[in-house]
Amino acid sequence: MMRFVHLIVVAALVAAAVYVYKIKFESAVQAERLAKLATEIKREREAIAALRAEWAQLENPARIQALAQRHLTLKMFDPTQIEQLDRLPERPPTPAAASSDAIATIIDGLEPEFPTGATAGPLPTTPRVAR
Q: Which is nearer to another protein, 43 or 111 (CB)?
A: 43
Enumerate residues 17-46 that contact another protein by CB under 8 A: 27, 31, 34-35, 38-39, 45-46
Q: Which is nearer to another protein, 7 or 38 (CB)?
A: 38
Residue 68 in contact with another protein, rule: CB under 8 A? no
Contact predicate 68/74, CB 8 Å: yes
Which residues have a Cβ under 8 Å from the Cβ of 98 and sit 6 or more positions away? 105
Helices (H), the chain: 2-58, 61-71, 97-100, 102-110
82 HSE (CA, 13 A, CB side): 4
Residue 56 in contact with another protein, rule: CB under 8 A? yes
Instruction: Write out the residues near another protein by the rule CB under 8 A.
Output: 27, 31, 34-35, 38-39, 45-46, 49-50, 52-54, 56-57, 60-62, 65, 76-80, 82, 84
